[in-house]
């Protein structure tokens, strides 16, 4: 029972049902089965029995959210934050370390981890990530560990966080997890700006004749080595230029491929909308666009796609990318977090950009709506 249950959780495998049926069926059908774990929670509750149930975080300080031995699985993370500092969601950094590793398997600004890559709170509901009223951040990705788990949040801002509330729900098992259990990873990336074609083009059609087969200049969501599977991405785009920021194909290079074996048809297509999302925000369990801005310089959009129905496996390596405009013609700002499971050790993450570099701002790149320098 234990092996079967953990394998199902970690593999994120699901039957061929509708999204609603999948969620309710899987959760309700297992309630009659006994559970072979001890339920635990690490939280910011007031140890004195009072109501001071939060933790302050001074500038430069790191708060440890969880530090416990395994084997276990984190099943849910909940945060809410009281801070007067602008863009505190971009300035607080979440890190997770499995089994005593020296470098984190999760390293991302808190807001970006929950799909809030523009540093502002937006309500939406997906299956693994949700933002609820009022400013409540929830994650349901299963995060297994064999020996230990340590999660921290570091305040890289200039002001004190007055109240950081957290609840981390996790299971501790009496027996080791299956030896082929994969570890959760989340990696932040950005391009500010993406290096596109700067010119006096007025609409996307003027660059349609450009060709891109190998994705050499694509925006990179993640690169991994080892064995595992990609389960999704959240991404925010701040436009430096007018017109539609999309028209970029997703390209996945599996196990060292020179040409992608998975190649999409456009940005809104990959995120399972169509026709520039029709200017309408939406959020569903597996995909959504909670923010859809006008097609003008200075406007922004946020999107997500989770491959929970069919994760993208790799046995040696994976490079997950998307074009920034057709054939990488545009020079907008991209902020993303990729989510995947893999064996350890993992490849080194790129250095986390400095706080100032992570903040959303317009750059003088030229092109329509942007006079440039």
Residues (pLDDT < 70) of the chain are 1-25, 198-199, 201, 204-206, 372-373
Identify the pLDDT of residue 23.
54
Give the tokens for residue 67.
Answer: 């530090």
Identify the pLDDT of residue 25.
66
Give the tokens for residue 145.
Answer: 């560990």
Residues 12-35 have pLDDT tens digits of: 433 333 344 445 667 788 899 999
Contacts by 100-104, CB closer than 8 A, 24 or more apart: 100/147, 100/148, 101/344, 101/345, 103/346, 103/348, 103/349, 104/349
Identify the pLDDT of residue 14.
33
Residues 6+ apart with CB under 8 A from 351: none
pTM of full prediction above 0.75: yes
Identify the pLDDT of residue 19.
41
Identify the pLDDT of residue 202.
72
CA distances from residue 367 to 29, 130, 297, 328 in whole angstroms, order as listed: 55, 36, 10, 14
The CA radius of gyration of the chain, in Å to the nearest whole number, is: 21
Q: Is there a contact between 357 and 240 (Cβ–Cβ < 8 Å)?
A: no
Residues 6+ apart with CB under 8 A from 179: none
Q: Is there a contact between 300 and 236 (Cβ–Cβ < 8 Å)?
A: yes
CA distances from residue 100 to 15, 18, 159 in whole angstroms, order as listed: 34, 39, 31
Identify the pLDDT of residue 6.
38
Q: Where are the alpha helices (DSSP H) in the chain?
A: 2-11, 19-29, 88-91, 110-113, 267-270, 355-358
Q: Are strands 92-98 and 148-155 parallel, antiparallel or unpaired?
A: antiparallel
Domain 183-198+214-358, architecture per CATH: Sandwich (2.60)
Domain ranges of the chain: 183-198+214-358
Interatomic CA distance for residues 324 and 249, integer angstroms: 8
Identify the pLDDT of residue 28.
87
């Amino acid at each position: 029972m234990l092996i079967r249950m953990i394998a199902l959780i970690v593999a994120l495998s699901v039957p061929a049902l509708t999204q609603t049926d999948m969620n309710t069926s899987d959760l309700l059908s297992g309630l009659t089965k006994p559970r072979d774990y001890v339920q635990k929670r690490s939280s910011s509750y007031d140890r004195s029995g009072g109501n001071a149930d939060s933790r302050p975080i001074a500038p430069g300080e790191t708060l440890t959210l969880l530090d416990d031995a395994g084997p276990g699985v984190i099943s849910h993370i909940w945060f809410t934050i009281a801070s007067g500092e602008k863009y505190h969601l971009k300035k607080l950094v979440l890190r997770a370390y499995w089994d005593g590793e020296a470098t984190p398997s999760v390293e991302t600004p808190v807001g970006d981890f929950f799909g809030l890559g523009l540093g502002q709170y937006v309500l939406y509901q997906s299956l693994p990530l949700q933002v609820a009223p009022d400013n409540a951040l929830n994650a349901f990705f299963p995060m297994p560990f064999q020996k230990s788990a340590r999660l921290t949040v570091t305040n890289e801002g200039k002001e004190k966080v007055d109240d950081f509330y957290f609840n981390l729900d996790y299971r501790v098992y009496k027996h080791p997890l299956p030896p082929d259990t994969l570890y959760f990873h989340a990696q932040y990336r950005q391009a500010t700006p993406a290096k596109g074609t700067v010119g006096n083009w007025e609409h996307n059609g003027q660059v349609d004749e450009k060709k891109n087969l190998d994705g050499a200049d694509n925006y990179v969501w993640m690169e991994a080595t080892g064995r595992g599977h990609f389960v999704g991405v959240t991404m925010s785009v701040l436009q430096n230029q007018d017109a539609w920021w999309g028209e970029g194909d997703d390209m996945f290079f599996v196990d060292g491929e020179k040409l992608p074996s998975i190649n999409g048809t456009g940005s809104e297509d990959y995120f399972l909308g169509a026709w520039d999302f029709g200017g309408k925000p939406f959020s569903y369990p597996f995909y959504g666009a909670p923010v859809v801005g006008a097609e003008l310089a200075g406007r922004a959009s946020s999107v997500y796609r989770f491959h929970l129905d069919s994760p993208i496996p790799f046995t040696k390596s994976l490079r997950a990318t998307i074009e920034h405009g057709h054939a990488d013609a545009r020079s907008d700002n991209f902020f993303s977090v990729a989510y995947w499971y893999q064996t350890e050790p993992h490849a080194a993450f790129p250095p986390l950009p400095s706080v100032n570099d992570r903040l959303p701002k317009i750059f003088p790149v030229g092109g329509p709506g942007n006079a440039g320098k």
